[in-house]
Amino acid sequence: MTNYPKVADALRSQLADRSDARGVPAAAVAVVVGDEIIEHAVGVLSTATGVTATTDSVFQIGSITKVWTATLVMQLVDEGRVELDAPVRRYLPEFGLGDASAADAITVRQLLSHRAGFEGDIFTDTGRGDDAIPKYVELLADAAQIFAPGALFSYNNAGYVVLGRLVERVLDTTWEKALVERIAVPLGAQTVSPSPYEAILHRAAVGHVGPDEHGVQTPAPFWAMARSNEPAGSMLAMSAHDLALFARAHLRGGTAVGGSILTAESAMAMRSTEVRLPDLAGMGSAWGLGWEIDRDDDAPLYGHDGNTVGQSSFLRIAPEAGVAIVLLTNGGDGAGLLRDIVDPLLRELTGHGLPDAPAPSPDAGTGDVDAFLGVYANSTMEMEVARDDEGRVWLEQRPSPELQALGGEPSRDELVRFGDDALIMRERKDGMHLVLAFLEPADDGRSSFVHFGRAVARSH
């Protein structure tokens, strides 16, 4: 209880002002300190209706959903029903890819740690029925293999849909029912909403886009994305309090008020380093079996972020201090609010803040970038790194119509040098300076991949 008044006072005095400054219509925070959960919410859930945010309001948690899916998989590991290093096809014989040998080889562990190597940003809508996820997995039969299984880290939404289908198959149920019955109920969570049908029963936040030419944030044109992508984070919503219950269970080695959701061994495995990442923006330094790992030194910090259309979510856990912090937002500069609110709270409660965000040197140039120039592409995005007549280097991004429908927009941004094999955006965008790492030089010296969390192969 010693930290409770100070944290509560900080949230009451700062959250509203910082949310306004960052253009965030509503924000909810829940802080786990030992056995206590301190909560606060500010703002409006929709600028169209003016409904105020409360601590029991539900926000979409986006890709933080992946940790819930990973937890379900690790429950099956605990029960001896799934082996981490077994091929996925042992449990899903129908799982196929464009590269049949890769489909045969990919393991459950590689899917959990984003090392499967096939193209992962596939958002095909296969309908609203209980067969949405099985239909989606069938469509992966044509998915391209970008690199050999296990060779690299590349964030993979599709891989987590496959894991969700694995859960469905082993348990003979839907992913939604498994999530509620095997995690939400033991947690004692009251607002966990796998779909809009449950979210509508609560005070639900609406995402916001913009600002428009008048500086106004407007409600997003839709709330839920495709059910086919549920296990990866297309629509799961809950209150900050209930997400904090999930974090607290992981802090306690899988133990919740209503029973264990994991063994201590599996909870530890999920946050232990499986693969290290290049120095990137917003992706951590390593990845475990579901968790993003910001630090794995003597001050460990792990968590996950999530984004849907107009909503951003953040979760950070400091296990040595017994602290977890949830921040949920419905528009504006959520990443900036993370720095404003979560960083000082972590410093106060644990002695260590968030890792420094990558930023370009004020006098950064470009140096020799010949090996980086070219076009890199997958089915949803074409990225061209080019030099202009003045020697400046630019990244032009051209999203597919499918990605544009989910909020992706064409863009052109200047890049400068960031270490030996990387470039960074000169200007901050979407709350950060995007870093591009260039990997795997080919025989001609040119990079085979550009990596910004996803590895995208050179096309020409």
Name the residues annotated as catalytic: 63
Half-sphere exposure of 129 (CA within 13 A, CB side): 5
Q: With beta carbons less than 8 A apart as the criterion, state whether 423 and 385 touch.
A: yes
